[in-house]
Chain A
């Protein structure tokens, strides 16, 4: 695992200035963690970077930003290390470069996925089956999507183990993990230390827009995920097959989940166009934007597919939706989606440190 020396060195230089200043202590969990140290190892810097959620409060509050010679831009310095740490821990390592070319990877996968599924649906159209299964048999769907879902999870797990070693994590404790989930669930840090939110879309104005849209994405995503899982349970445990009616668990979760996801991703994309790209990771803007839009497509095509039930549009909407889902799954370890996993790991580590575990 090789991380970019320049990024680490720059983040370290800035962290040392912050450590002499401390004015931003109350904004987020980065600063208390930073102020506990006197010297910063590469692992410390990597951990700090993954605790930062780029709210930018500390940039607009800083008396040392350019043109001052100290040239502070902690959100960017940490974003560069963060992005780089995901690449350095990516597994298999040869896919690390996908982070830099999310847009290209995504287009390629979408086209391929669409072609594949469309061809399968045309060529191997089942003799019987209802709803989607009239186009693509259940067995075939499972054959494609089980590995597409499980393999990325496996690679993420391997990456996280690497991260854990880098940041010097010891035994994983249940209480730390629980604490991390609680923090992430409320997105406490996104409120900013004062509860007024982030500085994102309009320089130093604090707002909750980013937190609310992000919440919509997270909970929308989880509801969609739960919808699919409940479908699987209904299918295998109760022998109830799709399509499900509107008043069924999969639909009651999936439709509002899809809508939330649509609104959240659209909102985040819009905020991203307003925010200053100079405060994020260099060169990552395009990939992040592509990823948000992909997630938007997942939810939008899902909703469209539901609306089109019974019509001929299903023949192309279904492959399109499935191709977005497939792309999303496959890119999870090599895209912005990875941040959720790393952030949980970082919060878990921080909880352990706060308990006094070195």
Chain B
């Protein structure tokens, strides 16, 4: 076809845009196929707020320094060692040059947001958040002549031996095909396909909420894996956090986050506690609560706090449910009132001296003789009005992905596929086997997006 571009990029988020821009700057004719309409372009990237960046001295909005080894250690801690050291170090080392690259392609940064000071050294925050980053990249890409098709859902990437020969996609009811020299897959994970999640997780997954885009349904990922492209990551694993149970099914994003768990007791449908709410500071425990709630009946949890704790955490998007008595609160939240009263009473009785209470530090204010215990911030729940939030499991992303090498290239059997690269969430499993480090998703997308763009352009230019 005369109109075939040199490169097709599948996806329209951070990784796709970094790849497209890099390839276009290398002189390639690039087409982006984005499944979402323009208003929802940018996948999960539109919900992000920062990326994690190594730096040897103050850099842009980042203070002090954050070296390769410290960064790598932080990663090892959260992944429990399930990390590909070579690729992880490549991502970490390259992150430093990403920041100026991002700035020169339109991204603007701001100092660490109020309430997130602990990240001021490690994470660079995007001014306006991920959607403004995505907007800036679309502007830059357009100037470079990149063509973007919205509402363009890729349905099939046809392999011919060790080569992609065709990309099929649909817009509405119309089918299209392109036969470019190089193809870059940057279409995220599969978490928006609830059926797939339910197959991997069990039926409980149908009650999960998806924090990001409804367009990451893993269509291209499944298509490539079916054809034997090398996979990586545990298909049953996903990154999930506990979010406000009233959040929309998709795209609720950051504002559905709840930070009140450490100052609360959390009970299940039967008004029973099930885990130590005060195990560690919230940022470190944020991620495990997704799984904890997923394991409870109906996959719900209920946070109960009293008046004295209301202003200790960041406000969230929905106001708490409020009542003058615990029974009334239970009524409003659909919990058995007598049981809730008993659980609170038992908890209150186990609380001891609270004079050392300190909301932002592990204060050791713990319960005694209670199972499960609450090991920090344990203050009796006594002061009306009482407040409640419901919790559900919110899925951020899935780990199953395409295995890539240092050049972001995919392979089939033990041979590389000569013209297929992958970047971002869809290959992140190549680096992280489990766990997650805040801001690392955007780092992976930026680093490997740029690598994929460069390699794909070099391949296309050579043909």
Contacts and interface: CB of A to CB of B under 8 A. Distances in A.
Interface of A: 16-17, 19-27, 32, 35, 38, 57-58, 60-70, 193-194, 196, 204-205
Nearest to B251: A68
B108 A63 contact: no
A204 B108 contact: no
B255 interface: yes
Interface stretch (B109-117, B234-242, B434-442): B109-117
Contacts of A19: 315
B129 A23 contact: yes
Given A16-B317, A20-B317, A60-B132, A194 B127 contact: yes
Interface of B: 39-40, 46-47, 49, 108, 110-111, 113-115, 126-132, 135, 139, 248, 251, 253-255, 257, 311, 314-317, 319
A204 B139 contact: yes
A69 B253 CA distance: 12
Contacts of A22: 113-115
A304 to B, nearest CB: 41
Contacts of B113: 22-23, 25
A196 B135 contact: no
A35 B315 CA distance: 10
A66 B251 CA distance: 12
Contacts of B254: 20-21, 23
Given A16-B315, A68-B251, A35 B129 contact: no
B135 A20 contact: no
A102 B348 CA distance: 64
B39 A67 contact: yes
A25 B319 CA distance: 21
29 contacts: A16-B315, A17-B255, A20-B315, A20-B317, A21-B253, A21-B254, A21-B255, A22-B113, A22-B114, A23-B113, A23-B128, A23-B132, A23-B254, A25-B113, A35-B114, A57-B132, A60-B131, A61-B127, A61-B131, A61-B132, A61-B135, A62-B129, A62-B131, A63-B129, A68-B251, A193-B110, A193-B127, A196-B108, A204-B132
A96 B251 CA distance: 42
> Which 8 pairs from chain A and chain B are nearest by CB?
A61-B128, A23-B129, A26-B110, A61-B132, A20-B255, A194-B108, A204-B135, A20-B317
A23 B128 CA distance: 5
Contact of B127 (A20, A26, A69, A205): A26
A63 B135 CA distance: 11
Nearest to B132: A61
Contacts of A67: 39-40
A32 B114 CA distance: 8
